[in-house]
């Protein structure tokens, strides 16, 4: 199970994209994050970010009935953190959850292998209303 506390923002600029929960959502989110990181000086990490955001948005699309998927990115000098939010706090990602079907359950392992950190946060206290699954990527040479 991933940690349930997001990485600290440490300042930076925030960006947000809201897309309908359709089969086009992963592509829209992937291009949004790629363009954002490219212009923010994270060009060497764009491919890793595309992989991670595609996996998280695809999971939200396939495993929730949320009407919209929100993608938030916080970019600072040292790291970029991307949050994929949906309105189903009970559909929790677990790496390798589906072991009998080879094509399923591997995406989160890829996220874990590529990202500096990843996890999830459930919002709403006693009556959870949504969750954010997030990952962070760091600039080369940035301290952990």
Which single residue is written with the structure tokens 């989160």? 108
Tell me how far apart the alpha carbons of residues 97 and 2 are, in angstroms, rounded to a whole number. Answer: 12
- Whether the CA torsion 108, 10, 66, 58 is positive or negative: it is negative
Does 101 reside within a domain?
yes
Question: Is this prediction's pTM over 0.75?
Answer: yes
Does 1 reside within a domain?
no
Residue 94, SS3? coil
For the stretch 30-81, pLDDT in tens is: 999 999 999 999 999 999 999 999 999 999 999 999 999 999 999 999 999 9
Does 106 reside within a domain?
yes
* Total domains, the chain: 1
- Which domain CATH number covers 93? 3.30.565.10
Range of the domain at 130: 13-138
Q: Is the pLDDT of residue 100 over 80?
A: no
Does 6 reside within a domain?
no
Does 4 reside within a domain?
no
Does 8 reside within a domain?
no
- Whether the CA torsion 40, 77, 56, 54 is positive or negative: it is positive
For the stretch 17-33, pLDDT in tens is: 999 999 999 999 999 99
């Amino acid at each position: 199970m991933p940690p349930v506390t997001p990485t600290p923002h440490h300042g930076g600029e925030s960006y947000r994209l809201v897309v309908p929960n359709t089969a086009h959502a992963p592509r829209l989110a992937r291009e949004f994050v790629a363009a954002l990181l490219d212009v923010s000086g994270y060009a060497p990490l764009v491919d890793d970010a595309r992989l991670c955001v595609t996996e998280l948005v695809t999971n939200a699309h396939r495993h929730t009935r949320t009407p919209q998927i929100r993608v938030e990115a916080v970019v600072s000098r040292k790291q970029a953190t991307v949050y994929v939010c949906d309105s189903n706090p009970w559909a929790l990602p677990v790496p390798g959850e589906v072991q009998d079907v080879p094509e399923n359950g591997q995406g989160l392992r890829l996220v874990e292998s590529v990202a500096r950190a990843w996890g999830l946060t459930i919002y709403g206290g006693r009556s959870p209303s949504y969750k954010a699954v997030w990952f962070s990527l760091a600039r080369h040479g940035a301290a952990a």
